[in-house]
Amino acid sequence: MKPLTARAQIGVVGLGTIGSEELALWRRSGHPAVGFDTSRTRVQAQELLGQGGDDASGLTSRFSDLASCDALVLCLPNLDSQGELTLKAFDQFLDKIWTFEPAERLIVVASTVPVGFTREFANRLGEHGRLVAHVPERFDPGRSTSLGEIPRVAGATSKEALDLTVDLYSRVGVTITPVDPVEVAEASKLLENAFRLVNIAFINEFAELCRRMGITAADVIDAAATKPFAFMKHTPGVGAGGTCIPTVSKYLLEAASHNDLELPILRDAVDGNAHLVERVVAHLDQLLRANSVSRARVLVVGASYKPNYPDTRGSAALRFARELGARHKVTVYDPIVDTTRWPSDLALVREPPRPASYDAVVVAVRHRQVDLDALRQAGPIFIDLVRGSVEVDESIPTRK
Ligand SMILES: NC(=O)c1ccc[n+]([C@@H]2O[C@H](COP(=O)([O-])OP(=O)(O)OC[C@H]3O[C@@H](n4cnc5c(N)ncnc54)[C@H](O)[C@@H]3O)[C@@H](O)[C@H]2O)c1
C-alpha cells in the first residue's frame, strides 16, 4: 500500500470519550474524516459539538459510509453496560466489515486490549486484515492536554503496517514510538494502567496506616515528593474508578494465569481497590457511633470518577455514596457531575452547604471549584479522603 497522504480519508469507529477526541485530531490536521457509532445518540451528541464538519456529513451511524476510508481507527469499548470486560464490539465490527469489498486499508486498534488480541483480530479479519496496527490510547480526560499532544506507542502485525501507521500519526504531529512485536504495544498499555492501579491501591493503604498513626497522609506524601528522583506522587481517595484503571489490569491477571504465574501484588491491588469503599464506610460508621449518631445526615463531596471531570462511569465515589446511603441520609455535593446516569434515589446538590447542616462531610473527589473551608463548617466530622485527614470539631453541633 502507498503511504497515506494528507488527503487520506480516516474513519473513526466508536465516538465515545476516545473516539470523539481521535475524530477531532484527524479533523484538525485537515484529513477528511468520518466518525461512525452504532449509537444514534452518540452521533447526535457529536453533531451538537460541531464535530461533523460544516454540514455534519462526517458523522454517521451507517457502517457503509466507512467504505471509502483509507484507514479505520477503532475506538471501541471493552466494557459492557454493567462495567464487565467484553470485546463484543470488535465482533460486531468483524461482522460488518465483511460487507465491504476487500481493499488496501489500514486498521488501527486504539482500544485497550489483551496481549495477543491484535494479531488474532488481524487473522479473523482475513482478507481485510493485511494491515493491522495497535496504537493504544493514552488520553487523560479532564487534563487540559489534547489527544494529539500525548506521545503514543505503535505496534503492528507487519513492517508495512507499522511504517504506514508511524508515518500517518507522525505527519499529524503525534510523537510516536514504534515497537515490535505488536504484543509489546498491547502489554505496554496494560503495564501503564496496572502500574497506576498498584500505586493508587498502595497510597490508599498507606493513608489508612497514617490515619491510625495519627498523621496526615498528604503531609507525608508532600514531604516524600521533595525527593527529586525515584518517587512519584500519588493521592489517596476512595479508590481508582473510571472505565480503564480498575478493569483492564484483569487482562494481565488472565495472561499470568495462562502462563502458570501468579501476580499477587497486582491481584491485591485489584481486590484492595474494590473493597476500599466498604472500609471507608465502616470507618465513618465508627466515628458517627462515637459521636452517638446512628442515622446521620452525611454530605459526600464529589461523585465523578476523577477530579475536574464529570463522568461517573465506574466511580468509586458514587459507589461510596450509594453504600453509605443504605445506612445514612446521604446528599452528594458535586458542582460539575454529569447527571445523565444519576441514580434517582440519591440526592444531589450543586451549591456548597450551609454551616452546621450535616453530621459529617466526606470529601471523596475534590474538583478545583470546591471550597474546603466552607465544607469544614458544614458538620462536626470532616473527613478529607484526598488528604487522608479526619477532623472532629466539637464546636459545630451534631444533629441528633
Ligand atoms: N476513556 C478513557 O479515558 C480512555 C483512556 C485510554 C484508553 N481508553 C480505551 O479506549 C477504548 C474506548 O473507550 P471510551 O472511553 O471511548 O469508551 P466509550 O464507552 O466512551 O465509547 C465507546 C463508543 O463506542 C460505541 N460503540 C459500541 N459498539 C460499537 C460498534 N460495534 N461499532 C461502533 N461503535 C460502537 C459506543 O456507542 C460508544 O459511543 C476502551 O478500550 C478504553 O479502555 C479509554
> Given ligand 1 and candidates 37, 247, 338, which is best to mutate, with the most ligand atoms within 8 Å of its CB?
37
Q: Is 112 in the pocket of ligand 1 (CB under 6 A)?
A: yes
Q: What is the DSSP letter of 102?
A: P
Q: Is 193 in the pocket of ligand 1 (CB under 6 A)?
A: no
- Is residue 71 within 8 Å of 31, Cβ to Cβ? no
Q: Is 76 in the pocket of ligand 1 (CB under 6 A)?
A: yes
Positive/negative CA dihedral, 271, 274, 280, 285: negative
Q: Is 78 in the pocket of ligand 1 (CB under 6 A)?
A: yes
Which of 3.40.50.720, 3.40.50.150, 3.50.50.60, 3.30.750.24 would CATH assign to domain 10-179? 3.40.50.720
Q: Is 38 in the pocket of ligand 1 (CB under 6 A)?
A: yes
Which residues neighbour 253 within 8 Å (Cβ) at sequence distance 6 or greater? 263, 266, 267, 270
Other beta carbons within 10 Å of 116: 15
Q: How many helices (H) and strands (E) does the chain have?
A: 11, 14
Q: Residue 368 Cα, ligand 1 centroid: separation in angstroms?
A: 27
What is the helix (H) or strand (E) element at residue 331, kind and residue range?
strand 329-333
End-to-end alpha carbon distance in the chain: 74
Rounded to whole angstroms, the Cα distance separating 375 from 370 reads: 8
Positive/negative CA dihedral, 307, 317, 234, 75: negative
Same fold flag, 10-179 and 181-400: yes
Q: Is 18 in the pocket of ligand 1 (CB under 6 A)?
A: yes
CATH architecture, domain 181-400:
3-Layer(aba) Sandwich (3.40)
Q: Residue 286 Cα, ligand 1 centroid: separation in angstroms?
A: 40
- Is residue 135 within 8 Å of 177, Cβ to Cβ? no
Cα 151 from chain centre: 18
**Nearest Cα residue to atom 38 of ligand 1:** 16
Which residues neighbour 64 within 8 Å (Cβ) at sequence distance 6 or greater? 99
Of 206, 279, 271, 267, residue with least CA distance to 238: 279
**Nearest Cα residue to atom 15 of ligand 1:** 17
Per-residue pLDDT of the chain (400 residues; tens, 9 = 90+): 877 887 899 999 999 999 999 999 999 999 999 999 999 999 998 888 777 665 556 999 999 999 999 999 999 999 999 899 999 999 999 999 999 998 899 999 999 999 999 999 999 999 999 999 999 999 988 887 888 899 999 999 999 999 999 999 999 999 999 999 999 999 999 999 999 999 999 999 999 999 999 999 999 999 999 999 999 999 999 999 999 999 999 999 999 999 999 999 999 999 999 899 999 999 998 888 888 888 899 999 999 999 999 999 999 999 999 999 999 999 999 999 999 989 999 999 999 999 999 999 999 999 999 999 999 999 999 999 999 999 888 888 765 4
The domain limits of the chain are 10-179, 181-400
Rounded to whole angstroms, the Cα distance separating 32 from 43 reads: 17
